[in-house]
Amino acid sequence: MALSLRLSRGGSKKRPYYRIVVADARSPRDGRFIEKIGTYNPLLAKDSPERVKLDADRARHWLSVGAQPTDRVLRFLDQAGVKERAARNNPKKGEPGEKAKERAEERASKAAEAAEAAAAASAAPAADEATDDATNQGVSTEQPAEGDAAAPTGTDEPQSTDEPAEG
């Protein structure tokens, strides 16, 4: 017969109260049990001595004859010093899901694009300032293209355009 140390629920709706019992593994959660070895009241404060009451001697006896504790009961046994509980490590549990990873990648790419745009914007005014300084000193940074007349025409009349003059 497979024995288990587990919780059997009692109490009313939304007011749980558990018995720590030794039961056949095939019996229902709140069904027949072999022996009650303690109680657990989750409504009490975590530091309250009344929260978990456990008969450690009987728990040791049932463990020695092969009863397997559930995870929660094993925590209680570990606190009481009856049986050592191995620490669990599930690094994938804390890892974000696929959609969250995609959103993070999108945010990172947008941030990188914004940083590049800011860098380009800060570089462009620096180049504009250099040309403004040169024109303020009377030096032209642009060279006239070949065939363009650099000298002014000397007339105040507007030069001919393709558009008809208004008048």
pLDDT higher than threshold 90 for residue 167: no
**Residue 69, φ and ψ in degrees, nearest 5:** -80, 150
How far apart are the C-alpha atoms of 6 and 31, rounded to whole Å? Answer: 12
pLDDT higher than threshold 70 for residue 147: no
Largest CA distance in the chain: 117
**Band of pLDDT at residue 14, cut at 50, 70 and 90:** very high
How far apart are the C-alpha atoms of 41 and 53, rounded to whole Å? Answer: 9
pLDDT higher than threshold 60 for residue 97: yes
Q: Is the pTM of this model over 0.85?
A: no
Per residue in 25-40, is it b (16+ CB within 10 Å) or e — as a string?
eeeeeeeebeeebbbb
- Angle at alpha carbon of residue 33, lines to 32 and 35, rounded to 5°: 150
| Residues comprising the chain, all counted | 167
Q: Do residues 7 and 74 touch, judged by C-beta distance below 8 A?
A: no
**Band of pLDDT at residue 42, cut at 50, 70 and 90:** very high
